[in-house]
Every structure is written in C-alpha cells, then in structure tokens.
Amino acid sequence: MISGTSRDIKIIFFKFLSLIIISILFLVIFVEVKARNELALARVMAADPLKSENAVRHYFQAMNWYAPWGASQNAAEELAALGQKYNQTGNKDLAYSAFLRLRAGLMAARSFYLPRRELFNQANEFLASYLTDRKLEVSGNQGNRDDLYSYYFKVYSAGVNFSEFFALIVAVSFLGWIASFIKIIGVFTSNKNILTVKDRYFRARIAICLFLICYLAWVLSMTAA
C-alpha cells in the first residue's frame, strides 16, 4: 500500500501539473484569439488602399501574438506578400514599412531559434536593396551598388546567426530534464514495498545524473543556438 504521506505528495504533484497544463492551454487559446482578431483587422484594412499603413500595423500586431502555428504564421506570410505587392506597384516606402515590421515581428518571436527564416531573409534582402537605392539616389548614383548592398545586408543580418541543430538539442534536453525531474519525484514517492532502499537510491542517482546532464545541455545549447 502507498503510505499517506506518499499519496498526499502525489496528489499535490498531479494537481500542480494539472494547473500548469490548464494555464498553458489557456495562454495558447488567448494568444491565438488575439492573433486572429488582429489578422482579421489587417485583412479588412489591406482591402482599402487608403488604409495600407494600418494594414501593415495590424499584421505586425498579429505577429506579436506569436505561436508556431495559426494566425501569427498567416500574418507573417500575408505581410511578406503585401510588401511584395507594394514593391511591384512602385510604392517603395510602404513596402519598406511592411518588410521592416515583418523583420521586427520575427525578431521579437526569436528565442532559441529564428522562426520563418525564409521570410526573414526575404525582408533583409528587400531592406538592403531599398536602403542601397536611397543612398545612391541621395549621393547622385555615385558608388558601387553591389558593395553598398552587401554592406546593408550584413548590417541587417549581423547578430542573428542561429543553429537548427542546437535548436533541436534545446527541445530534446528540455524534455529530458523535465522527465528526469518527474522521475526523481516518482522514485521517492513510489510504494516502499516495491523497491528496496538500495534500489531506490540507485535509481535516484541515475535520475539525478540524467537531470543534471539534460539541464546543462539545455543551457549550453540555448547559448549556441
């Protein structure tokens, strides 16, 4: 039989775990609802040529309610398409605003990885080209365009290096140290009649070692990613 103390600890632990899960689900739903509201406003504004700047702003706000799926991803894709549309119709300033906000939104969502790398690179390419043209226009088309473009592209790309390999290690090691922590609790709260004291502490030592290894890997991989 499970002792009263062990049973109470398990009840408290599972209540705590349930609270965390419910809180995360509530947060995910809240973020997605906010993103959908902003995306709906952005689409309405984008249909009106007089409200183009407002459309860009609402797309950006939808991206700020970031999740790896759903409305924020649609907002990023549609904002990139809107920027391309403005660029093709000759509205360079609005295109610049769209790509600048696209880049800012993706950078704001960056933690241990950079989301939507292809859109991020697309934004950097346009911003570098836009600033190169403006610089050459102001200086009377004096200077080497390729060198100037390369300079601006490096400026926008600086400090945003990332590693998808280490991003994967971050996710795996995070799950590893969480699972190890739960295992440690389980070892000390399991039925005492099932495990001998020697077996209990042997398993506990293994779980603690795994916890430390995974936690260290998690911290180091976040700095490398």
Q: Is the per-residue pLDDT at 123 higher than 80?
A: yes
For 125, residues 6+ apart whose C-beta sits below 8 A from its C-beta are: 153
How confident is the model at residue 1, as a pLDDT? 45
Each residue of 92-119: pLDDT tens digit? 999 999 999 999 998 887 765 677 888 9
Q: Are 65 and 38 spatial neighbours (Cβ–Cβ below 8 Å)? A: yes
How confident is the model at residue 51, as a pLDDT? 92
* Mean pLDDT to the nearest integer, 183-192: 70
Cα–Cα dist 1/193, whole Å = 8
How confident is the model at residue 145, as a pLDDT? 84
Cα–Cα dist 115/106, whole Å = 6
- Most confident of the following: 2-6, 149-153, 168-172, 195-199: 149-153
Q: Is the per-residue pLDDT at 2 higher than 70?
A: no
Q: How many CB atoms lie within 10 A of CB 108?
A: 12
Cα–Cα dist 53/161, whole Å = 30
Cα–Cα dist 56/133, whole Å = 22
Q: What is the DSSP string of 189-206?
A: HS-TTTS-HHHHHHHHHH
Query: Residue 22: which pLDDT band, with cuts at 50, 70 and 90?
Result: confident
How confident is the model at residue 15, as a pLDDT? 73
Each residue of 51-98: pLDDT tens digit? 999 999 999 999 999 887 889 999 999 999 999 999 999 999 999 999
Percentage of the chain modeled with pLDDT above 90: 34
Mean per-residue pLDDT of the chain: 82
Cα–Cα dist 14/183, whole Å = 13
How confident is the model at residue 92, as a pLDDT? 93
Phi and psi of 220, rounded to 5°? -65, -40
How confident is the model at residue 194, as a pLDDT? 59
How confident is the model at residue 175, as a pLDDT? 82
